[in-house]
Structure 1
Amino acid sequence: MAKVLVLDVDGTLVDTNYHHALAWFRAFRSYGVTVPVWRIHRAIGMGGDQLVPEVAGQEVEDSSGDDIRAKWKELADGMLPEVCALGGAHELLRAARDAGYRVVLASSGKPDHVDHYLDLIDGRELAGDWTSSKDVEATKPEPDLLEVALEKVRGEQAVVIGDSVWDCVAAGRIGLPSVGLLTGGFGAAELTDNGANRIFADLHELRSNLDDLPFGGTSAS
């Protein structure tokens, strides 16, 4: 029975969450909107289509949402050289492949960012496929990205692995179990309260427990 690991990327395989939070803070400020960085961090894991109204309200989304997202992209591009892979990212992908799992990366990041991260983790030959924001109209916590990822790498059972509450919420909306990592700055209780079935401190601990992950049935075949 084919099993699929659906892996988030930002904050899960690469250390980007705080870069993104600061880029969003600066992007909002450039349009006269001040949102506390802590509040932005609580929304990291959402795509930009969801994040702007979540943290700044629908009025800001309606008046400046596209401009703020464009500014965020410009600022985030400038931070890419500072981004590092999280410890154990490449080793996890290799171990999952060697164990017979199908691996798909379900990212809501911009396509060029995802390409950069794939190079950082040397993951192109280890992941069966990957997504980006261009693949869907609505990003996490909507489950669309997960559904597209599962279509790309089909299997009878799957588990969603991510660092944010939004990964867990998205997984729950399509009836899949989720595993939470503490690498993105979300607490264990937050992840569990939003549906995570297991919690691991980092990718090394996750790799040591690949044989003990919760899997749920999927309609993909």
Structure 2
Amino acid sequence: MTNTLLLDVDGTLVDTNYHHAVAWVRAFGSAGIAVPAWKVHRSIGMGGDRLVEAVAGEHVEAEHGDELRKAWEHEFEPMLREIRPLEGAHRLVTSAVSEHGLHVVLASSGKREHVEHYLDLLDVRDAVTAFTTSEDAEDSKPAPDLLQVALSHVDTERAVVIGDSVWDCEAAKRIGLPVVALRTGGFGEAELREHGASAVYEGLDNLRADLADLPFATV
């Protein structure tokens, strides 16, 4: 029986959530829109198509959405050289494949060039079966579209979602897949469980030790 890990990337494999939050705060500021950083951070994990409205309201999305997304990209791009893998990321992916015979699909809503950069940074190109980017679905998390696209790239019988945010949990729940969460995105254990996580781990090495016992479900 073939099992698949549907792995989120930002905040799960690479330590980017706070960089994203800073870039968004600066982007809003460049348009003269003051938003609290904590509120931005709480929305990281959504795609940029949803975040503006979630943080600043429908009227800001209507008037400034595309402008803000371009400003975010301008602010985030120089930070790419600061991004580092989270501890244990390479070990998790390679162990899942070589020791447990799992497929690994990266279910990301990041820009293609960013995901490509992370693949090289993590040194997992040879281990990953497929990956998604923002180009692959019109609606981002918490919508389940990207997870469904990710599943379409692999011949599998069972799968589990691994993520770091409540938005990953919500997306998995909407298509009936189990989700295991990590605290690496800054969300607390209680709220991750409240949104559907069956288990919550402090780090990737802790998760790797339990790969054989993850709650895979039929897709």
Query: TM class, shorter-chain normalised?
Result: over 0.9
2-side partners of 1:126 and 1:51: how far apart?
Answer: 31
Structure 1 partner of 2:37: 37
The answer as to 2:177 corresponding to 1:171 is no
1-side partners of 2:213 and 2:28: how far apart?
Answer: 42
1-side partners of 2:218 and 2:65: how far apart?
Answer: 37
For 1:177-192, what aligned pairs fall within 5 Å after superposition?
177-192=178-193
2-side partners of 1:84 and 1:61: how far apart?
Answer: 31
Structure 1 partner of 2:60: 60
2-side partners of 1:153 and 1:203: how far apart?
Answer: 23
- Alpha-carbon deviations, 1:121-171, whole Å to 9, x = none? 001111101000011101100000000000012211100000000000000
The answer for unaligned runs of 5 or more in structure 2 is none
1-side partners of 2:198 and 2:43: how far apart?
Answer: 21
Q: TM-score, normalised by structure 1?
A: 0.98
The answer as to 2:195 corresponding to 1:194 is yes
SS in 1 for 2:6: strand
- Alpha-carbon deviations, 1:36-94, whole Å to 9, x = none? 11101111000000111111100000000000000101111110000000011111111
Q: Is the Cα contact below 8 Å between 1:163 and 1:184 reproduced in 2?
A: yes
Letter in 1 for 2:166: V
Q: Is the Cα contact below 8 Å between 1:103 and 1:153 reproduced in 2?
A: no
Letter in 1 for 2:198: N
Structure 2 partner of 1:121: 122
Deviation at 1:211, TM superposition (A): 0.8
2-side partners of 1:154 and 1:209: how far apart?
Answer: 23
Percent sequence identity is: 58
Q: Is the Cα contact below 8 Å between 1:22 and 1:37 reproduced in 2?
A: yes
The answer for unaligned runs of 5 or more in structure 1 is none
Structure 2 partner of 1:151: 152
1-side partners of 2:66 and 2:145: how far apart?
Answer: 21
2-side partners of 1:154 and 1:15: how far apart?
Answer: 30
SS in 2 for 1:6: strand
Runs of 4+ in 1 over 4 A off after TM superposition: none
Q: TM-score, normalised by structure 2?
A: 0.98
> What is the CA RMSD across the aligned residues, in angstroms?
0.6
Structure 2 partner of 1:79: 79
Q: How many aligned residue pairs are there?
A: 218
1-side partners of 2:84 and 2:190: how far apart?
Answer: 26
1-side partners of 2:109 and 2:155: how far apart?
Answer: 19
